Amino acid sequence: MRKTFSPERLREIIWDVGHRYPILPEGDAIALLMVHPRMGHATWHVRERSPEDVRRQHGGAFSNASLVVRVYDVTDIIFDGFNAHMFFDLDVGKPAGNYYFTVDCLARNYLAEIGLRNPQGMFHPLSRSNAAFFDRDRPSGNYQTTGLFVGKSLHRIFPVENIFDAPVYERMNHELAGVVRGKALSVAVVFLGIDHISGFSGPLGHFIENLSTRIEKFVGATRLFSSPLREPRISGGPLLAAVDALSAEVVTDVRAAHRQKPFHIVHCHDWYSSAVGLAIKREFSIPMVLTLHSTEHERLQGNEMNSLSLSICRREKEAVVGADLVIVPHLSTRQQVIALYEAPPEKVVTVPDALDEKSPDLPQTVAHVRGRIGLSEEAPTALFAGEISHAAGADLLADALPTVCRNHRSAQFIFAGNGPLKGELQTRILHAGIGDRCRFLGDVSKETFDAILGASDFVVIPARTWQDESLARAAIARGRPVLTTHQAGIKCIVHGENGLVTFDNPGSIVWGIQEMLHNPLQGSMLRFAARKRVGGTPSVEIVAVQHYMYYEMLLKRIEGVQDA
Is the pTM above the cut of 0.85? no
- pLDDT recorded at residue 525: 66
Q: What is the pLDDT of residues 69-89, one digit of tens each?
A: 999 999 989 999 899 999 999
H helical segments located in 262-393: 271-284, 296-300, 307-322, 331-340, 366-372
What Å distances lie between residue 501 and 141, 385, 462, 469, 520, CA to CA?
A: 20, 17, 9, 14, 14
What Å distances lie between residue 495 and 193, 460, 511, CA to CA?
A: 49, 14, 14
In whole angstroms, what is the distance from residue 388 CA to residue 415 CA?
8
Q: What is the pLDDT of residues 40-68, one digit of tens each?
A: 999 999 998 898 888 888 877 888 889 99
Please, what are the domains in the chain? 19-134 (2.60.40.10), 147-357+542-563 (3.40.50.2000), 366-531 (3.40.50.2000)
In whole angstroms, what is the distance from residue 495 CA to residue 500 CA?
5
Q: What is the pLDDT of residues 400-445, one digit of tens each?
A: 999 999 988 889 999 998 999 999 999 999 999 999 999 999 888 8
Q: What is the pLDDT of residues 179-238, one digit of tens each?
A: 655 577 899 999 987 654 455 667 788 888 888 988 888 888 999 998 755 444 444 457
In whole angstroms, what is the distance from residue 497 CA to residue 474 CA?
16
- Candidates 315, 308, 297; CA nearest to 238 is 308
Residue type, 264: H
Contact 186, 221 (CB under 8 A): yes
First-to-last C-alpha distance (Å) of the chain:
81
Give me the phi and psi of 335, to 5 degrees please.
-65, -40
Confidence of residue 240 (pLDDT cuts 50, 70, 90): confident
